[in-house]
């Protein structure tokens, strides 16, 4: 992440995560090749102009009292580990591969 930028919102699905940056750009991480649609119009593209539109965070997301915390979950067969995007471990708990998630928490 470039200096001065922050992630302002996150949306996650079964096999993808989309992060919204403070400059209005979006970044996607997924298992299959995918990309965030361009907001540049055809005229802007043809004339090599930057897009006038940009992605914005939902106002309801920004009104929360606590800052958002984005975590990545991983399972190593005997534990579930949550880390920050900077790679710092946030929490870890024991869980066998066959444990239902409702019982592991």
Indicate if the alpha-carbon torsion angle 16, 66, 91, 96 is positive or negative: negative
Predicted pLDDT at 105: 47
Picking from 13, 42, 4, 9, the residue whose alpha carbon sits closest to that of residue 27 is 9
Q: What is the dihedral of CA 69, 83, 87, 56, to 10 degrees?
A: -30
Task: Give the whole-angstrom CA distance, residue 39 versus residue 55.
Answer: 8
The end-to-end CA distance of the chain, in Å, is 31
Instruction: Please report, in tens digits, the pLDDT of each residue of the chain (105 residues total).
Output: 788 888 888 887 777 788 888 888 888 887 777 777 777 788 888 888 888 777 766 665 555 555 667 777 787 778 888 888 778 888 888 877 677 656 554
């Amino acid at each position: 992440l470039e200096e001065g930028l922050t992630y302002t919102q996150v949306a996650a699905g079964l096999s993808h995560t989309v992060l919204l940056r403070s400059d209005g750009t979006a970044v996607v991480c997924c298992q299959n090749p995918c990309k965030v649609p361009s907001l540049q119009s055809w005229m802007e593209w043809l004339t090599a102009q930057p897009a006038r539109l940009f992605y914005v965070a939902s106002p309801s997301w920004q009104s929360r009292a606590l800052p958002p915390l984005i975590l990545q979950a991983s399972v190593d067969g005997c534990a579930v580990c949550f880390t920050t995007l900077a790679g710092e471990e946030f929490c870890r708990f024991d869980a066998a591969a066959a444990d239902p998630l409702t019982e592991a928490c």
